[in-house]
């Protein structure tokens, strides 16, 4: 009996600091966001007016909000699919194929993850420069004089600006997840591949029948983490590269919230956007966990 009480006290004192900090820095601020979303407040004065759900009504009638929502969903889908496809392919090649300088390629692929988002944004902004950028200079070799006279505005066109950001986000993330998948693939027994080869299975068949199922737990965990973090990372890239322009065409959830709360002094309205982002992220994580749930395969 004493051992059980002592074990219970030990667990309590170990968990209490973490629970306390989580409540102070996570639960309480989250409740504060929902509470402030029901007020009309500029954020810099003591005058607050309770408006109930009016901020949410305004939000769901705003074309700018739906533009930000559309961009966020586009980034989540396209960046996630491309990042994980390239990460898995590169990880499989560097793990299963005998290539000279494998460690060199690992370092090269991982370098973008070491750089800050601001540095990466500056690099791609220079590449996208309409007059002296590398991308337009290369395309002008094929476009001729027309290319020099009518440069492509990669960050200035409402139709393509979000896709320009997509490329930067994919480039930044591939190396990190590639290294994680390489670590998982290295633990797959070589005997399984040898048996599959003897039965006539090619490398592509082996990848989908052996590699993917055996590292699925890692894929599932990183997939959930990546999709939720994309919502945060998209804000950093948009803020550094376009600041939401042109005319809000590249705004995402958090950049739109930032503009309304801190630029337009509509703090209550901004917190309403934050509440929607929280619910959306929470629901997305739950759906993703259900959809990707598979029976674990042991080896």
Q: What is the DSSP string of 117-153?
A: HHHHHHHHHHHT-TTT-HHHHHHHHHHTHHHHHS---
C-alpha torsion sign, points 127, 128, 131, 134: positive
pTM score, two decimals?
Answer: 0.88
Q: 296 φ, ψ to 5°?
A: -70, 140
- Residue 261 is given by DSSP the state I
- Residue 265 is given by DSSP the state -
Nearest to 206 by CA among 196, 191, 218, 195: 196
User: What is the structure's pLDDT at 7?
Assistant: 76
User: What is the structure's pLDDT at 297?
Assistant: 62
Q: Which residues contact 269 (CB under 8 A, 6 or more apart)?
A: 40, 55, 58, 59, 260, 261
pLDDT tens across the length of the chain (299 residues) = 566 666 778 788 888 888 999 899 888 988 988 999 999 888 777 788 889 899 999 999 999 999 999 999 999 999 999 999 999 999 998 888 777 777 788 888 888 888 889 999 999 999 999 888 899 888 888 877 666 778 888 999 889 999 999 999 999 999 899 988 988 888 888 888 888 888 888 888 988 888 888 888 888 888 888 888 899 899 999 999 999 988 889 999 999 999 998 888 788 999 999 999 999 998 998 898 888 887 666 65
Q: Which residues contact 153 (CB under 8 A, 6 or more apart)?
A: 130
Separation of alpha carbons 264 and 251, rounded Å: 15
Q: Count helices and strands (H / E) in the chain.
A: 15, 2
Residue 40 pairs in a beta bridge with 49
Q: 67 φ, ψ to 5°?
A: -65, -45
Out of 3.40.50.1240, 1.10.3720.10, 3.40.50.720, 1.10.1200.10, the CATH code matching 56-291 is: 1.10.3720.10
User: What is the structure's pLDDT at 171?
Assistant: 93
User: What is the structure's pLDDT at 129?
Assistant: 92
User: What is the structure's pLDDT at 249?
Assistant: 92
Exposure letters 240-273 (e unless 16+ CB within 10 A, then b): bbbebeeebbbbbbbbbbbbbbeeeebbbbbbbb
Tokens at 293, concatenated: 């749930």
């Amino acid at each position: 009996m004493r051992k059980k009480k002592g074990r219970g006290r030990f667990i309590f004192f170990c968990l209490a600091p973490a629970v306390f900090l989580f409540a102070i820095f996570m639960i309480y601020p989250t409740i504060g966001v929902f509470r402030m979303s029901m007020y009309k407040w500029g954020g810099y004065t003591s005058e607050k007016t309770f408006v109930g759900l009016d901020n949410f009504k305004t939000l769901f009638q705003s074309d700018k909000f739906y533009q930000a929502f559309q961009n966020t969903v586009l980034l989540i889908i396209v960046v996630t699919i491309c990042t994980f496809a390239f990460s898995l392919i590169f990880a499989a090649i560097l793990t299963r194929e005998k290539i000279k300088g494998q460690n060199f390629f690992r370092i090269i692929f991982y370098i973008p993850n070491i750089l800050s988002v601001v540095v990466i944004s500056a690099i791609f902004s220079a590449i996208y420069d309409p007059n002296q950028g590398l991308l337009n200079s290369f395309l002008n070799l094929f476009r001729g004089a027309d290319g020099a006279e009518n440069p492509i505005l990669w960050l200035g066109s409402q139709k393509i600006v979000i896709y320009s950001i997509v490329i930067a986000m994919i480039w930044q993330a591939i190396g990190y997840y590639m290294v994680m998948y390489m670590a998982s693939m290295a633990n797959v027994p070589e005997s399984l591949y040898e048996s599959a080869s003897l039965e006539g299975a090619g490398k592509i068949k082996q990848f989908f029948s052996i590699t993917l199922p055996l590292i699925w737990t890692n894929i599932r965990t990183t997939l959930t983490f990546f999709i939720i973090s994309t919502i945060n990372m998209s804000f950093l890239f948009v803020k550094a590269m376009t600041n939401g322009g042109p005319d809000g065409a590249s705004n995402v959830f958090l950049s739109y919230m930032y503009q309304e709360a801190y630029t337009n002094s509509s703090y209550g309205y901004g917190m309403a956007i934050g509440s929607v982002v929280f619910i959306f992220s929470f629901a997305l994580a739950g759906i993703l966990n259900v959809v990707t749930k598979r029976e674990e395969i042991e080896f």
